[in-house]
Amino acid sequence: MTTRRDLCTLFAAGTLLSLVPVEAVRAQSVEAHLMTAALKPRPADDPPGFFLSAAWEFDLSRALVDCLRRGIPLYFLYEFEVKRRRWYWANKTIAEAHLIERLSFSPLTRTYRVSRGGLTQTFESLDAALPIVKDIVEWRVADLAAIYEYDPEDLDARVRMRLDLTKLPKPLQVSIGGNSDWNLESDWESVPVPPMRSAS
């Protein structure tokens, strides 16, 4: 059964598409650039773990800002993985983690919200909300034992972030197709694995 909320979302998506010309959408390409990233071991935690802090820089395109202001939330996906290099076979994945942040706008209160897990923060402006989306602080990405079971010099750790288009309303997903203005993402970037002595 189609609910009133579903109808409102479909109407907002249709309105958004009618207001953003395809030519304008294709004119821009949105990239996120990793500025800093660091892994930190925490042997005193229970269980001991590896925590990632990272920061990206990017701007939201006009199409994405319009999407937000019409009540359609944006979901940002952060991905992390560690692989062990093997000369005799394909590299082995020994750890991976995913994190989703939801950025939304309430037309009623004129405020922006950033949600991660069970935590939600409210902001008066988009400029105030975006730094929370761009920066990940102390994200637990792996067990310490899973990493230090191997020589850190044999490991490749990397991270990336991207806009998860699969979370958009279905009609909007179909209509935007491969338009570059909606493809906000970073490249996979390497993150140094600290030596075992730094965990002591």
Q: Is residue 98 part of a domain?
A: yes
Q: Is residue 96 part of a domain?
A: yes
* pLDDT value for 92: 93
* pLDDT value for 174: 78
Give the domain extent around 28. Answer: 4-194
Q: Is residue 200 part of a domain?
A: no
* Mean pLDDT over the full length of the chain: 84
Do 159 and 80 touch, CB atoms closer than 8 A? yes
Domain count, the chain: 1
pLDDT tens profile 108-131: 999 999 999 889 999 999 999 999
pLDDT tens profile 139-189: 999 999 999 889 989 999 999 999 999 998 888 877 776 666 788 999 999
Amino acid at residue number 144? L
| pLDDT above 90: percentage of residues in the chain | 62
- The closest of 135, 92, 88 to 114, measured between CA atoms, is 135
Q: Is residue 180 part of a domain?
A: yes
Q: Is residue 92 part of a domain?
A: yes
Q: Is residue 199 part of a domain?
A: no
